[in-house]
């Protein structure tokens, strides 16, 4: 029974990681698109290190949050 629980947590964590990462990527793309439409200006990440860091960090943090949530939900049997 213990192996089944760890397997379910691993699968839930992996799925959450993928979904969270995709969600974070879509979030950054949506923000970039809204800035282009709203302000008629493209975001230049080459000249702005904090903006580049945000565009890298948001998908990674969303993926880690998704993995944590997925593993917890899978551990509960839901």
**What is the helix (H) or strand (E) element at residue 20, kind and residue range?**
helix 2-39
Lowest mean pLDDT among 23-27, 29-33, 45-49, 61-65: 45-49
Locate 33 and state its tokens.
Answer: 């698109």
Spell out where 1-78 has E strands: none
Structure confidence at residue 2 (pLDDT):
58
Q: For 27-45, what is the mean pLDDT?
A: 92
What residue ranges do the domains of the chain occupy?
A: 2-75
Measuring CA to CA, how many Å separate 19 from each of 35, 59, 66?
A: 24, 10, 7
Structure confidence at residue 78 (pLDDT):
47
C-alpha span between 32 and 59 (Å, rounded)? 14
pTM: 0.83
**What is the helix (H) or strand (E) element at residue 39, kind and residue range?**
helix 2-39
C-alpha span between 40 and 46 (Å, rounded)? 18
């Amino acid at each position: 029974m213990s192996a089944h629980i760890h397997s379910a947590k691993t699968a839930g964590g992996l799925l959450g990681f993928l979904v969270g990462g995709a969600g974070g990527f879509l979030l950054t793309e949506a923000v970039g698109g809204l800035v282009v439409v709203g302000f008629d200006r493209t975001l230049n990440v080459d000249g702005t290190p904090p903006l580049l860091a945000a565009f890298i960090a948001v998908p990674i943090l969303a993926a880690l949050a998704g993995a944590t949530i997925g593993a917890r939900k899978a551990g509960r049997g839901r």
